[in-house]
């Protein structure tokens, strides 16, 4: 599980940097400043959770069952949260109306919160 966490964290980091550069440079002339800022929010949370998974994968004090739960919550949360934000921010550039799936953004956010809650629960259950 640790290797999976670390590889996934690396992929999230790599794609986060690429998307951040695209948002800062490639979208500049195509979407509004507000849409660029929205896109940046998605990138920021993706990068935060890349570091989060690096942290989880590097600690031996986190139980494997919690690592697995945190992994799936985080990945699903990033896809729903950041992914929907990317779609919403670039909505003007596509024929698909991402506003109809905008409700998944808070669902993704809730999953990200839950991943942190499970980390907290793991720490509470730790023996001294």
pLDDT at 68: 96
pLDDT at 127: 83
Q: How many domains does the chain have?
A: 1
pLDDT at 126: 86
Q: Distance between alpha carbon 9 and the CA centroid of its chain, in Å?
A: 10
pLDDT at 95: 85
pTM for the structure as a whole:
0.90
pLDDT at 120: 96
Q: What span, in angstroms and rounded, lies between the C-alpha atoms of 96 and 83?
A: 14
pLDDT tens for the 128 residues of the chain, in order: 899 999 999 999 999 999 999 998 988 889 888 989 999 999 999 999 999 999 999 999 999 999 999 999 999 999 999 999 999 999 888 888 888 988 999 999 999 999 999 999 999 998 87
Domain of 97 in residue numbering reads as 2-125
Q: What span, in angstroms and rounded, lies between the C-alpha atoms of 104 and 18?
A: 23
pLDDT at 111: 98
pLDDT at 93: 87
Asked if residue 88 lies in contact with residue 60, where contact means CB atoms within 8 angstroms, the answer is no
CA 21, 26, 32, 38 torsion-angle sign: negative
């Amino acid at each position: 599980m640790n290797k999976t966490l670390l590889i996934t964290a690396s992929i999230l980091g790599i794609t986060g940097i690429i998307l951040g550069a695209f948002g800062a440079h490639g979208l500049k002339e195509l979407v509004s400043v507000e849409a660029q800022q929205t896109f940046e929010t998605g990138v920021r949370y993706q990068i935060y959770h890349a570091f989060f998974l690096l942290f989880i994968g590097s600690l031996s004090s986190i139980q494997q069952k919690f690592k697995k739960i945190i992994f799936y919550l985080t990945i699903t949360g990033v896809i729903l949260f950041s992914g929907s934000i990317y779609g919403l921010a670039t909505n003007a550039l596509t024929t698909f109306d991402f506003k109809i799936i905008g409700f998944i953004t808070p669902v993704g956010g809730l999953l990200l919160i839950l991943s942190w809650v499970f980390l907290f629960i793991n720490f509470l259950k730790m023996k001294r």
